[in-house]
Amino acid sequence: MLKTESKTSIKTKLLILAIMFTNSNLFSFDEGIAKSGNIEIYYRDYGPADGEPILLVQGIGGQLINWPQHLIEFLIENNFRPIVYDNRDTGLSSRIQNEAFNKDNVNKTIIRNYIRYYLRLPIKSEYTIDDMADDGVSVLDHLNIENAHILGISMGGMIAQIMASSYPEKTKTFTLIASTASTPSPFNGPSKDVRRLFIERTKNVDATIEDRVNRTKKLFKLIGYQGIDLDTQEFSDNVKLSIERGGVDDTGFGRQLTAILGSKNRIEKVRSISAPTLIIHGKEDPLIGVKNAYRSNKLIKGSKLVIIDNMRHLIEPPVFDQFKSDLLAHLK
């Protein structure tokens, strides 16, 4: 049985958010907690109330505050109702308590998992991608939303694949960004440099805030749009804001990564997706190679594939401008 820990009371969480985000958002929103079994999932529901709901599913380690503001604005301006949430083990959602990723055991856990990863052997995880899909569905159920557009990026795309295949009645359309239908392997997974930074983050669970800022900067320089200046106070402040909101406990990243590495092959589930599907991928993605997009396109009947030449793994404004018309046409 999973052991969970609520980081704070609902009242305290709302107070924290009110203080942190009063002047940082152009649009009003409601926030709350949905229950997924014994897991608390913290969500944010943007207006307009009569807009078409679209559930956005984040990637590994990403919090609901990390969705690009230009994406949220675009959706609201086109009369959609973006709903974002913290995956379990991230942000203000429940943390899963286990000993495998504490300071004393984390190195042994990483070595064991990566040996099994390279040998293509099963990896045991505290929870699965399917469990995380149920978390997202619990948010829709909590808000009494019968069906919604589902959009997932990276790990969030893996989660969204399960939603779209297991809950077709809840999926109006499906958008898959920078993701894969396969279980990651040494042959279709991250580049060596990205993999090294992932291992570094998993191992150093008690890294200082400054170390975490520098590590994030290194990662974004590898997976983000080339030419964007990250050596700014604004970037550092945004990373620190995420750290302050999510807390000093960074062990959830390792558990999410283990859930990905330990996930079962989703090929048949992805093949069963019947919702209208748009697949967007960067030609230069060093985290999830572009060949994964071509494979997903073949698996999902009738899906549309958009490859962005100068996109890596993120959706910065110069990248988003290249596919936003495709996204709007798909959602409409």
Quote the pLDDT of residue 8.
43
Vertex 107 angle, CA 102 and 112, to 5°? 115
Burial letters 212-235, b for 16+ CB under 10 A, else e: bbebbbbbbebbbbeeeeeeeeeb
Q: Band of the pLDDT at 184, cuts 50, 70, 90?
A: low
DSSP-derived pairing of the beta strands 39-46 and 29-36: antiparallel
pLDDT tens string 301-320: 999 999 999 999 999 999 99
Q: State the CATH number of the domain containing residue 311.
A: 3.40.50.1820
Percent above pLDDT 70 for the chain: 90
Quote the pLDDT of residue 21.
37
Between 311 and 205, the more confident residue is: 311
What span, in angstroms and rounded, lies between the C-alpha atoms of 4 and 21? 26
Quote the pLDDT of residue 22.
33
Quote the pLDDT of residue 119.
79
Quote the pLDDT of residue 11.
37
Domains held by the chain: number: 1
The parent domain of residue 61 ranges over 4-331
Predicted confidence (pLDDT) at residue 284 exceeds the cutoff of 70: yes
SS3 of residue 128 by DSSP = coil
Between 306 and 110, the more confident residue is: 306
Quote the pLDDT of residue 188.
67
DSSP character for 66? G
Q: Band of the pLDDT at 265, cuts 50, 70, 90?
A: confident
Predicted confidence (pLDDT) at residue 98 exceeds the cutoff of 80: no
pLDDT tens string 76-86: 999 999 999 99
Q: What is the mean predicted confidence (pLDDT) over 280-284?
A: 96
pLDDT tens string 2-54: 444 444 444 334 433 333 333 335 678 999 999 999 999 999 999 788 999 99
Q: Minimum mean pLDDT among 133-137, 194-198, 291-295: which range?
A: 194-198
Predicted confidence (pLDDT) at residue 234 exceeds the cutoff of 50: yes
What span, in angstroms and rounded, lies between the C-alpha atoms of 86 and 95? 11
14 CB contacts (<8 Å, ≥6 apart)? Answer: 31
Percent above pLDDT 90 for the chain: 57
DSSP-derived pairing of the beta strands 304-308 and 29-36: unpaired
Helix ranges restricted to H, the chain: 10-21, 69-77, 106-118, 129-142, 155-166, 192-203, 209-223, 233-246, 251-261, 267-271, 291-299, 317-331
Q: What is the mean predicted confidence (pLDDT) over 208-226?
A: 87
**Span between the terminal Cα atoms of the chain, in Å:** 42
Would you call the peptide bond into 48 cis, given omega within 30 degrees of 0 as the criterion?
Answer: yes
